[in-house]
Amino acid sequence: MVATLEISDTTLRDGAQAAGAMTNSGGRRHWYEAASRLGIPLVEMGLQSTVADRQIPKDMAYCAEKGGNTRVVAFGSTSKKQRPASDPAMGLLANCKAPVACIFGKADVEHVRGQLNLTPEDNERRVEDSVNYLVSKGKEVHYDAEHFFDGFRKDPAYALRTLEAAARGGAKRLILCDTNGGTPPTSRWGKEGVADIVKKAREYLDSKHIKVPLGLHMHNDRGDALENTLTALNYLKDKQDIIQVQGTMNGKGERAGNLNLATLIGNLATGAMEGLTMKVDLPRLKSVADSSYIVLGLSLPDPDNRPFVGEVAFAHKGGVHSDALKKMGPGAYQFADPRDFGNESIIVLNSLGGGATVELVAESFGIKLDKRDKDTAEKIKELKRRLAWFERRGYRLGALKAEQYLLISEAFGDKRRFFEVTGSRGEVVDVGRKKYSESDLSIQIGHDSYRDLRSSSGGLVDAMYKSFVKTLGKSFPFVREIHLVDFDSKIAQIHGEESPMRSLVLLGRNGEISETVGVDPNIIISARKALEHGFRYHIKRYHELTKS
């Protein structure tokens, strides 16, 4: 018999607690729909008892009305009052439109006394009564046993009794939480590990004839969230429980974060756990994982080497790797097919790679090269010299497909540049309470010169982007379909006060998103260069595709 893993995504609650993260109504609704398309069965939508965002109940109602196989989960705590019906926070949970409520309670007797100022017995009653109250209001209740693993090591009998109390109240899932993220997978350093404690918890509940399925909620403070989860699942799957695992996409969360759901899904999909299945649309994994950064208001890592879903998770830079990939195929240096996860292999174009690297990159754009040809070999050398020039200045463009295309096409294909920037200026004007951005852009297209001077209430990059669209749109109307997706800027190379800036611009058209860079000591010019590369890429691709 095969057990099915039940994933409860807590990106909108735990993930939003990551430093710098913030969600809004549109982001929450977008994330629910993205997770639903991926096939995640449960999506937790923030802290229902908060008054910080009064839109949350409306978002829950919107998502609940969507129907489908993904259910919305409202999150809160056990009642702060003796009678749950008199606790306003419990009332919010009871009356919201989410069909599932997940509440946490204390499983560590020290927290019961020190934080709640309750007796152990009173806390048990609060757990049971809180679950029972929400069940009476028609909710399916999942119980998060906060600090369970730490509490078990201090007083195992009490930690287990809190689970029993939640089960008596009618909880449908009992979630064991490693809240501090410090429990090792197996016994070490004088500590019982996750495997030992999970086994004892299940045995205790079975002895009480409690058949409520267990779940897991792991934090990553020791870097063990994934291993802890797989270790526990290895035991629980043999019990044929319906296992719930809570986590966040990309592992975002407070402190060192939570279990990374993308990595867990990738591991299970590649055979990390026999006898355990998931119902997810695996090729969507990368796009959904990427979108979580936008939902949380965070930037993608640079370089993006997240397992399974990162832009360079299947990137190859070394000449030996490239040579083997060309002769033997993708299995030479990859344990899995990136396409299974919605990703792709990338050959990193760099000055240290051999001719095989350039050949493979060129082939990805439909350009067949023979490095044994004398003229081709000389062009490859010239390209590597150009790459070395870019690398010395901190461009780091070798893994960016759009930048690769520009380099390869200019070296071996269509050398047309289509336009040249002949002048640019940008500044942010701050007059009293009024702020606006000014862009002044001059472009040469053939024999024609164009200039666009504009003011924008948005940011400077937005103003420059609009200037590019206006000027280039005169000769290339389709550029009006190109939209600005994202922008980021960082130090390219650390040289004290003279450090240049590296700007990354994402432009989208017809579902394709390009990433291009610009480097300059002036951050405004670095952004303009990145935009220039991006528009040139889309114009060259358009002409290539329409020609074919």
pLDDT digits (tens, 9 = 90+) for 46-58: 765 555 567 888 9
Let me know whether 236 and 374 are in one domain.
no
pLDDT digits (tens, 9 = 90+) for 49-107: 555 567 888 999 999 998 788 999 999 999 999 999 999 999 999 999 999 999 999 99
- Mutual angle of helices 355-364 and 319-328, in 10-degree steps: 50
Let me know whether 402 and 436 are in one domain.
no
Spatial distance between the Cα atoms of 283 and 337, rounded to a whole number of angstroms: 11
CATH number of the domain to which 494 belongs: 3.30.160.270
Assigned domain for 390 exists: yes
Backbone angles phi, psi at 313, to 5 degrees: -65, -25
Spatial distance between the Cα atoms of 205 and 198, rounded to a whole number of angstroms: 11
Let me know whether 164 and 248 are in one domain.
yes
Count of helices and strands (H, E) across the chain: 17, 17
Spatial distance between the Cα atoms of 233 and 37, rounded to a whole number of angstroms: 25
Spatial distance between the Cα atoms of 179 and 219, rounded to a whole number of angstroms: 6
The closest of 308, 182, 292 to 300, measured between CA atoms, is: 292
Q: Which of 295, 329, 362 is the last residue of a domain?
A: 295
Backbone angles phi, psi at 191, to 5 degrees: -110, 140
- Statement: residue 172 has pLDDT above 80: yes
Cα dist. 111→159, 212, 224 in Å? 11, 25, 24
Let me know whether 400 and 461 are in one domain.
no
CATH number of the domain to which 283 belongs: 3.20.20.70
Assigned domain for 310 exists: no
Assigned domain for 302 exists: no
Let me know whether 291 and 326 are in one domain.
no
Assigned domain for 281 exists: yes
Assigned domain for 308 exists: no
Assigned domain for 61 exists: yes
Let me know whether 434 and 403 are in one domain.
no
Q: Which of 353, 385, 409 is the last residue of a domain?
A: 409
pLDDT digits (tens, 9 = 90+) for 472-482: 999 999 999 99
Alpha helices in 54-119 (DSSP H): 56-66, 88-95, 109-114
**Hey, is 52 helix, strand or coil?**
coil
Let me know whether 271 and 142 are in one domain.
yes
Let me know whether 100 and 244 are in one domain.
yes
Position 54 scores a pLDDT of: 78
Let me know whether 288 and 170 are in one domain.
yes
What percent of the chain clears pLDDT 90, i.e. is strictly above it? 63
Q: Which residues pair with 215 in a beta bridge?
A: 175, 244
Q: Which of 388, 409, 430 is the last residue of a domain?
A: 409
Assigned domain for 344 exists: yes
Residue 318: which pLDDT band, with cuts at 50, 70 and 90? low
Which range marks the domain in which residue 424 is found? 420-547
pLDDT digits (tens, 9 = 90+) for 404-460: 999 999 999 888 999 999 999 988 888 877 888 899 999 999 999 999 999 888 789
Residue tagged 């109940």 (tokens): 57
Assigned domain for 414 exists: no
Let me know whether 105 and 218 are in one domain.
yes
Position 325 scores a pLDDT of: 64
Let me know whether 141 and 190 are in one domain.
yes
- Count CA atoms closer than 13 A to 530's CA, side-chain side: 35
Let me know whether 531 and 387 are in one domain.
no
What is residue 191's DSSP assignment? B
Cα dist. 425→252, 276, 405, 455, 482 in Å? 38, 58, 28, 12, 22
118 Cβ contact partners less than 8 Å away, ≥ 6 residues apart: 112, 126
H or E element: which one contains 424? strand 420-431
Position 350 scores a pLDDT of: 83
Number of domains in the chain: 3
Contact (CB, 8 A) for 423 and 460 = no
CB atoms within 10 A of CB 119: 12
**Hey, is 337 helix, strand or coil?**
coil
Instruction: Work out the average pLDDT over 305-317.
Output: 85
